[in-house]
Chain A
Amino acid sequence: MILDGKCPSGPLAQKWDKHRQDMKLVNPANKRKFRIIVVGTGLAGASAAATLGELGYNVDAFCYQDSSRRAHSIAAQGGINAAKNYPNDGDSIFRLFYDTIKGGDFRAREANVYRLAQVSNNIIDQCVAQGVPFARDYAGYLDNRSFGGAQVSRTFYARGQTGQQLLLGAYSALSRQVKAGTVKVHTRTEMLDLVVVDGEAKGITVRDLVTGQISSYAADAVCLCTGGYVNVYYLSTNAQGCSVTATYRAYKKGAFFANPCFTQIHPTCIPVSGEHQSKLTLMSESLRNDGRVWVPLKKGDKRPPHEIPENERDYYLERKYPSFGNLAPRDISSRAAKEACDDGRGVGPGGFGVYLDFADAIKRLGEDKIRERYGNLFEMYERITDENAYKQPMRIYPALHYAMGGLWVDYNLQSNIPGLFVLGEANFSDHGANRLGASALMQGLADGYFVIPYTIANYLAQTKPGKVTTDHPEFRKSQEDVSTQIKKLLSINGKRTPKEFHRELGKVMWEHVGMARSEQSLKKALHLIPEIREEFWKNVKVVGSGAELNQELERAGRIADFLEFGELLARDALNRNESCGGHFRVEYQMPDGEAKRDDENYSYVAAWEFKGLDSAPELHKEPLVFENVHLGIRSYK
């Protein structure tokens, strides 16, 4: 099937305005007759739930955490982009649009990205009004910093905790609606199934993580705002609870999964310290504003960094990409670090690390200035590594960080299942094959505050409220399916813990579907993953019962989904015979090692349809049409 993204016609800059005129509205008195489910309370979910509640809809919001304030958006450090052009350095909506399209290696939909750039400015205003304490200069104006992949300073920030502050802003707006009675937040509740009635999304089935009770909620529309899936790699910068479960189970109910192989490996994370490692910690990309990345020029140079003289250091990003230098985009910086380490020039235990050195910046600006900019990050680094980065360079290494892929959505953020909307990282639409820094926060809030309120109305206006209740047989069936799987997990009583399987899957994913993929490695992964899955269902040991708080059971359920999803990701990577953005196939590279895109054959969104576990998923394509940008070679040199 050729998919249609349903982008409005007309000039790029007028599409969204025109579309807003064309869409239907729900009149204020009718809004309260509609019920909307929002799953996930991160930036996308909290902003959507708050805004929809404020408009007068009845909203049920769900999160697995004990409070809606804890979603993983909170961990974003560096900042949020907007095209305000406050510094007068040449920024514009078109430039933000262009940088994002180019940064995504020309694999995103033009119209979506342009809309994102358009509403970016409203987000900043909204957050300021909520009391988000963005950094300001001494005159009282908002301050900006620069970020990877851009030559303008358009990133707004709140120390190194921008995600936290934006999320708390959205959480406060949500809390206001809880008090107003328009939103009910169901905490410690995990979505385990999507309920589709007559082809439309009409509810979800959830497990109460405290009592273990399985129940269903019906609604007129469902919004999934459940984040990304990179915990399929076991080690990532995601929170422990982040999973693919909500989106994957929607996929199994018919929603198409788009571009799952577009995963982002973040260049500046703290290196792995041992087998016990449970997660990786990111050091904000903003550090690359002042830190210089280098490795020793000589292979196997074991001298401590301060004993290596300047002329024996390789500042490889500055050398390879003189115009962007240390601010080269994430995929490029990550691959360059891997190359240096593969070349035997890595530093630290095991040689899987490169230096991020602040010595020059400290000399130029003084330690106090650096402390003011990044103090909390330096502290965090010291807590984890026991090293003082003011005195010696940080050691960093790439780690899985973000999923550009996600459920397929059209311009209205609606999936191929009517009534199912997907927002934020959970959808695929805005970042193409690589996301630029400080754009995830922008997209989450754009979708929640400024896009979904319009587009969901257009859908609801064409439906009858309260059409389906949980008495419908589809809900009963959904609850039975969920209960059956839980019983099955508990009954296997094998020898290996769920975590052991997760770690094993992660190793396969990292090794064969990681930073450098090949036909051979992907085929290997496609062979290994089903084997692990088969063993999981024979030999996993899940203790405790389903009728109580049981964290092992929660984990096992999420890993069961990862064990299927990993295969889909590898399959997508194998299908895409090109290198672009975060997807690097070793067969497809330029003579100098840069990614080699194939616009003629792969300028499309790959959207996969579930066809049963024993059959291959079906590939649907949405051709990407570029009317406003020239598909250039993405050069940062």
Chain B
Amino acid sequence: MNLNLYVWRQKGPNAPGKLEQLQAKNISPDMSFLEMLDEVNEDLVRNGKEPIAFDHDCREGICGTCSQVINGIPHGPQERTTVCQLHMRKFKDGDSIYIEPWRAKAFPLIKDLIVDRSALDRIIQAGGYTSCHTGGVPDGNAILIPKPDADTAMDAAECIGCGACVAACPNGSAMLFTSAKVSQLASLPQGRAEAAQRVCVMTEAMLNEGFGNCSNHYECQAACPKGIKVSFIAKLNREFLKAQIK
């Protein structure tokens, strides 16, 4: 099939950007979205033009590197699917496709579709861990963890840190991302000891990085390729409140 692409092109953070029209020809429905872009890029390179810069790595939906807004939706139209796992069979011959980068104050653009998401790392660095030393920890079965708690922690821990939640949020909030880590650790006995402090420092880091607040649009949950639920935001709020009144 043939597709009409409108791709955001921008040389650098301070250069002006625009949507460039490009053709994707002879695309197989079995191609992934990124393989379609590979083909477009190969054509551009053969013609001596600069290919579209985009972030990608594992191409199996787990590393969280790929990050494109497709037709206005972070990661595109298929639910619970990263761009790299989106396949062209979801599109029709002759479709127009708009491809843009994550847009958020806290994610400065680097080039074309690539943005700087290091703000998410800094939220984790603020306190998204248990302060255990290497070695000197008890046996893995010394502290029993009820299965529902372990499952809740795992549900939250599935976050791949791609930032789609931020790109989807009208406030550019990283609440879903932050709440996933807060909830994972707060659900486990190993994380309880520092839970109060953790929720405070991580929330503060989130605000300092220029992410907005949550106003319950739930766009983040709809965009999340891993199905992280907004109920974790409620859990973050609860943890935050508990920490304040202590």
A residues whose Cβ falls under 8 Å from a Cβ of B = 47, 50-51, 54, 65-72, 74-75, 84, 86, 122, 124-142, 158-159, 161, 164-165, 168, 171-173, 175-176, 178-179, 185, 187, 210, 237, 239-241, 273-274, 276-279, 281-282, 379-380, 383-384, 386, 449-450, 453, 495, 497, 499-500, 541, 543-544, 548-549, 551-552
Contact = CB atoms under 8 A, between A and B. Distances in A.
Given A380-B60, A549-B111, A67 B141 contact: no
A165 to B, nearest CB: 6
B144 A139 contact: yes
Given A135-B150, A176-B131, A276-B28, A140 B145 contact: yes
A286 to B, nearest CB: 15
B38 A380 contact: no
Contact of B45 (A127, A278, A282, A552): A552
A240 B56 contact: yes
Interface residues of B, number: 80
A274 B140 contact: no
Contacts of A386: 87, 89
Contact of B81 (A47, A50, A179, A383): A383
B121 A68 contact: yes
Contacts of B185: 131
Interface in B4-35: 11-12, 28, 30-32, 34-35
Interface in B21-64: 28, 30-32, 34-35, 38-39, 42, 44-46, 48-51, 53, 55-64
B231 interface: no
B128 interface: yes
Interface in B97-124: 110-111, 114, 116-118, 120-121, 124
A74 B62 contact: yes
A129 B193 CA distance: 12
Interface in B114-162: 114, 116-118, 120-121, 124-135, 137-141, 143-147, 150-151, 153-154, 157-158, 160-161
A-B pairs, 10 with minimum CB distance: A140-B144, A172-B129, A129-B137, A133-B153, A133-B154, A129-B132, A128-B140, A273-B30, A239-B57, A136-B150
A604 to B, nearest CB: 34
Given A66-B118, A133-B157, A187-B118, A453 B134 contact: yes
Contacts of B121: 67-69, 175, 185, 187
Contacts of B114: 549
Contacts of B129: 130-131, 172-173, 175-176
A171 B62 contact: no
B188 interface: yes
B48 A72 contact: no
Q: Which of A241, A383, A548 has the most CB of B within 10 A?
A: A383
Contacts of A543: 44-45, 48-51
A549 B53 contact: yes
Contacts of B65: 65-66, 70
Contacts of B50: 543-544
Nearest to A139: B144
B173 interface: no
Given A70-B58, A179-B126, A548-B111, 16 more contacts: A65-B63, A66-B116, A70-B161, A74-B58, A126-B134, A135-B154, A137-B147, A140-B145, A161-B62, A173-B129, A175-B121, A176-B125, A276-B28, A386-B89, A450-B135, A541-B45
Contacts of B190: 128-131
20 contacts: A69-B64, A70-B57, A74-B58, A74-B63, A126-B137, A129-B130, A131-B153, A133-B154, A136-B146, A159-B154, A164-B158, A179-B127, A239-B59, A240-B57, A278-B38, A383-B81, A499-B38, A541-B48, A543-B48, A549-B53
Contacts of B139: 125
B184 interface: yes
Contact of A66 (B117, B145, B160): B117
Contacts of A544: 50
B85 interface: yes
Nearest to B60: A281
Interface string B71-106: 000000010110001110100000000000000000
A130 B146 contact: no
Nearest to B29: A386
B212 interface: no
Given A74-B58, A380-B60, A125 B30 contact: no
Contact of B141 (A68, A141, A158): A141
- Most A CB within 10 A of own CB, among B30, B65, B89, B134: B134
Given A65-B57, A75-B58, A176-B129, A142 B140 contact: yes
A472 to B, nearest CB: 31
B188 A69 contact: no
Contact of A278 (B34, B131, B151): B34
Contacts of B30: 273-274, 276
Most buried by A among B57, B116, B139, B158: B57
A210 B56 contact: no
Contacts of B172: none
Identify the interface centre among A128, A135, A141: most chain B CB within 10 Å of its CB: A128
A125 B45 contact: no
B121 to A, nearest CB: 5
B109 to A, nearest CB: 11
A185 B188 CA distance: 28
A86 B32 contact: no
Contacts of B161: 67, 69-70
A281 B85 CA distance: 10
B57 A175 contact: no
Contacts of B63: 65, 70-72, 74-75, 239
A140 B130 contact: no
A615 to B, nearest CB: 34
B243 to A, nearest CB: 18
A50 B125 CA distance: 12
A276 B128 contact: no
Given A276-B39, A543-B51, A171 B57 contact: no
Nearest to A275: B28
B64 to A, nearest CB: 6
Given A133-B184, A133-B188, A274-B28, A173 B59 contact: no
A278 B84 CA distance: 11
B63 to A, nearest CB: 4
B57 A384 contact: no
A243 B79 CA distance: 32
